[in-house]
């Protein structure tokens, strides 16, 4: 009974953790009623998203998501053939226990000899949890020791453990061959052991001090006393777990919020950033040794962990409290952000952006006007040229030189002034024109006496 209670509590704790796990169920006894209880629980775990492998005598007739049968049916005779009415009526307590012990011992031996069971025993599979029924024999408990290699790997590490994981999205096997080789070369040069999350089937060049797993209990690993360093992509969950455990980080940010998360850790003094493009054997070893050999990084990580943990409630209790708080206060309108009541143009800062754009445009326009004016003043004189304007008298008939000027020259006056030309007037009687509408003696017009010109219309 206590065994069942322990198993149920273990499963509840696992589900409560909010992460999927790889679970092995071992049910070597071929009593159908015994298996039915565990079968329902294993299916429930699979429905929750956990990867469930079940060694049993009653495989599913239909494939189920996340549920894998390790079929050992036929390895032992039907248990019902062992029980007869005459046999059970003659049992006393001692005889009953002796019979069950002998029966389950033989069953366990036969089950473990089954090819599928042997394949499991010789596999390199790693499980986060093992659930088994102990009925009359405890021989299958040895499987728990078989799959304790992760615990043993960490406990026996003389120089500590470096944990490498880039989360569940980025697959390390998609790294370029050069980057993957750099990782292996760097890890192989470390005296520490390396635990590496790797979902590929094979890892080329894997050193002897590296253990890989497709899914590893990250928080448990980070909380292990032998864990000295976490090589991470800087995801929020992994960063918080590292802070909680007080473990320094070599951050390799790849996208999204990871750059900011690693930057904060660097500012707190317990992380070093290494860009993916900069990964080489030397750069990775340098980052690792910087964190491991300088005690300030470990001290800062532990200090940050203490600050993070020093709170009146656990994170879960805090989350539950505030959810219930909002429910009790019917949405807690007094806690709503003031931004929720702003008009759209203010919320999006459109008014501020408009003023800034108008200011920039006005400044640029005024700058253009000033520069254009200065250039005209500076370059206008250089470009001014001198023109001798001669109005052909053959185009019109003029009764006098004044008519000549009024009828011919004045039509060009504005154009000449706009072109900033200095005009020379060749005439004998320009002085008479000053009494009229036009003053040809003003600036820009130079009087040239031409008494020798024979005007045909004087």
pLDDT digits (tens, 9 = 90+) for 331-356: 889 998 888 889 999 989 999 999 99
At 147, the pLDDT band (50, 70, 90 cuts) reads low
Angle at 158 between CA 153 and CA 164, to 5 degrees: 55
Q: Which residue has the higher pLDDT, 117 or 450?
A: 117
Reported pTM:
0.52
Q: Which of 269-278, 306-315, 374-383 has the highest mean pLDDT?
A: 269-278
Asked whether the beta carbons of 99 and 91 are under 8 A apart, the reply is yes
Mean pLDDT rounded to a whole number for the chain = 78
Report which DSSP code applies to 75: S
pLDDT tens, position by position, 179-218: 999 999 999 999 999 999 988 878 888 999 999 987 788 8
Count the Cβ atoms, other than its own, within 10 Å of residue 183.
Answer: 25
pLDDT in tens, 280-317: 999 999 999 999 999 999 999 999 999 999 999 888 88
Query: Which tokens is 436 given?
Result: 């009229």
Beta-sheet strand order (sheet of 161-165): 210-213, 193-197, 161-165, 227-232, 249-251, 271-273
């Amino acid at each position: 009974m206590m065994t069942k209670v322990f198993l149920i509590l273990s499963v509840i704790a696992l589900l409560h953790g909010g992460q999927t796990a790889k679970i092995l169920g071992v049910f070597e006894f071929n009593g159908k009623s015994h298996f039915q209880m565990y079968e329902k629980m294993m299916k429930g775990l699979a429905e929750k998203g956990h990867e469930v492998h079940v060694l049993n005598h009653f495989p599913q007739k239909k494939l189920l998501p996340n549920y894998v049968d390790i079929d050992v049916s036929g390895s032992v005779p039907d248990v019902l053939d062992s029980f007869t009415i005459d046999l059970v009526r003659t049992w006393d307590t001692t005889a009953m226990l002796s019979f069950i012990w002998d029966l389950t011992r033989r069953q366990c031996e036969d089950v473990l000899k089954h090819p599928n069971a042997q394949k499991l025993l010789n596999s390199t599979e790693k499980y986060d949890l093992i659930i088994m029924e102990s009925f009359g024999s405890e021989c299958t408990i040895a499987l728990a020791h078989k799959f304790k290699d992760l615990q043993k790997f960490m406990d026996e590490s003389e120089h500590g453990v470096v944990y490498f994981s880039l989360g569940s999205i980025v697959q390390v096997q998609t790294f370029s061959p050069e980057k993957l080789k750099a990782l292996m070369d760097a890890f192989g040069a470390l005296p520490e052991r390396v635990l590496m999350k790797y979902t590929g089937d094979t890892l080329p060049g894997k050193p002897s001090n590296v253990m890989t797993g497709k899914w590893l209990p990250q928080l448990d690993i980070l909380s292990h006393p032998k864990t000295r360093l976490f090589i991470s992509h800087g995801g929020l969950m992994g960063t918080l777990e590292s802070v909680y455990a007080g473990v320094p980080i070599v951050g390799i940010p790849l996208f999204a919020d990871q750059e900011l998360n690693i930057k904060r850790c660097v500012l707190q003094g317990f992380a070093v950033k290494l860009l993916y493009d900069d990964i080489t054997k030397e750069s990775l070893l340098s980052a690792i040794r910087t964190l491991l050999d300088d005690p300030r990084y470990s001290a800062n990580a532990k200090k940050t962990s203490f600050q993070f943990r020093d709170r009146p409630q656990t994170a879960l209790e805090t989350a539950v409290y505030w959810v219930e708080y909002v429910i009790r206060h019917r949405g807690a309108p007094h806690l709503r952000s003031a931004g929720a009541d702003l008009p759209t143009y203010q919320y999006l800062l459109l008014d501020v952006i408009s003023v800034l754009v108008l200011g920039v445009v006005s400044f640029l326009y005024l700058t253009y006007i000033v520069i254009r004016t200065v250039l005209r003043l500076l370059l206008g004189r250089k470009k001014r040229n001198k023109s001798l304007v001669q109005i052909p008298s053959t185009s019109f008939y003029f009764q006098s030189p004044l008519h000549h000027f009024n009828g011919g020259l004045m039509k060009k006056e504005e154009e000449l002034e706009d072109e900033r030309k200095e005009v020379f007037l060749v005439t004998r009687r320009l002085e008479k024109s000053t009494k009229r509408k036009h003053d040809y003696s003003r600036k820009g017009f130079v009087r040239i006496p031409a008494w020798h010109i024979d005007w045909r219309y004087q």
